[in-house]
């Protein structure tokens, strides 16, 4: 049976695994015939070697927003160590579905995202984890630029919870300097944990604070999209034999 192996990072915070489990249920609800398994890189069980041995026709889908160290090195190395040659799907970002999930979380937090007038008066901080990989941070900035372009926010500033700045207070100050009447902080993170808590603590001056992406239906649809793309890419076309 075809299956999707969701590979998450893992965390000591129990909210992380609970969020991954809820997201898996969203994926199953959207495609009931598909077997969905979960494995973690660290901290949580089961780990990759405990799962891949029982999967014969699967695609590994990383639960990662950017193509940084975990996607480039950790996941391929873990699969090799486990003796697995499973195809690996692309990371989640960038995608219009991620922007839709960000919109959803802001709406749930009380922001009228459907109002063009409200969006034009609101500046948003896209608060990401941050990475030592310049390409990953550039990808996050590109998401912020696309979100502003397609939604008409007054401004969108990127802030980081780790690595180098800017931090959330710096980004909020930049939004006010740009003329935003209202401000919102939107975590560009998948599950609760240390870094989202750090963002929450730093966002006290914002008018609106959204939740992490979590088990948003758009995120589940995106995981299935990446799964389908990877399966199509692994199909081998055998040329017809000629006499």
The percent of residues in the chain predicted with pLDDT above 90, rounded, is 87
Q: What are phi and psi of 202, to 5 degrees?
A: -90, -5
pLDDT tens digits for 27-49?
999 999 999 999 999 999 999 99
Q: What is the pTM of this model?
A: 0.94
* pLDDT at 243 (0 to 100): 36
* pLDDT at 163 (0 to 100): 67
The alpha helices in the chain, defined as continuous H runs, are 14-30, 48-52, 69, 75-81, 96-108, 116-121, 134-151, 168-177, 194-202, 217-234
Q: How far apart are CA 71 and CA 161, in angstroms?
A: 20
On whether the CB atoms of residues 105 and 210 are closer than 8 A, the answer is: yes
Q: Domains in the chain and their CATH numbers? A: 2-92+216-234 (3.40.50.1400), 96-209 (3.40.50.1400)
pLDDT tens digits for 164-216?
789 999 999 999 999 999 999 999 999 999 999 999 999 999 999 999 999 99
* pLDDT at 123 (0 to 100): 98
Residues pairing with 39 in the sheet: 7
């Amino acid at each position: 049976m075809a299956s999707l192996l969701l590979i998450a990072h893992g965390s000591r915070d129990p909210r992380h695994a609970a969020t991954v489990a809820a997201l898996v249920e969203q994926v199953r609800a959207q495609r009931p015939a598909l077997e969905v398994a979960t494995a973690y890189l660290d901290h949580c069980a089961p780990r990759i070697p405990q799962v891949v041995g029982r999967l014969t026709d699967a695609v590994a889908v990383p639960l990662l927003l950017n193509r940084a160290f975990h996607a480039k090195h950790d996941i391929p190395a873990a699969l090799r160590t486990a003796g697995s040659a499973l195809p690996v799907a692309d990371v989640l970002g960038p995608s219009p579905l991620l922007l839709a999930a960000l919109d959803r979380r802001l709406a749930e937090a009380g922001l009228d995202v459907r109002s063009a007038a409200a969006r034009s008066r609101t500046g948003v901080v896209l608060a990401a984890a941050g990475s030592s990989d310049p390409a990953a941070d550039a990808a996050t900035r590109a998401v912020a630029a696309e979100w502003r372009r397609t939604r008409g926010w007054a401004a969108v500033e990127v802030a980081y919870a780790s690595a180098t700045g800017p931090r959330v207070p710096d980004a909020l100050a930049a939004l006010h300097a740009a003329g935003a009447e209202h401000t919102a902080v939107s975590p560009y993170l998948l599950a609760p944990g240390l870094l989202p808590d750090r963002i929450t603590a730093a966002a006290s001056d914002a008018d609106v604070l959204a939740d992490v992406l979590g088990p948003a239906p758009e995120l589940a649809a995106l995981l299935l999209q990446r799964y389908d793309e990877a399966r199509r890419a692994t199909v081998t076309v055998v040329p017809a034999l000629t006499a």
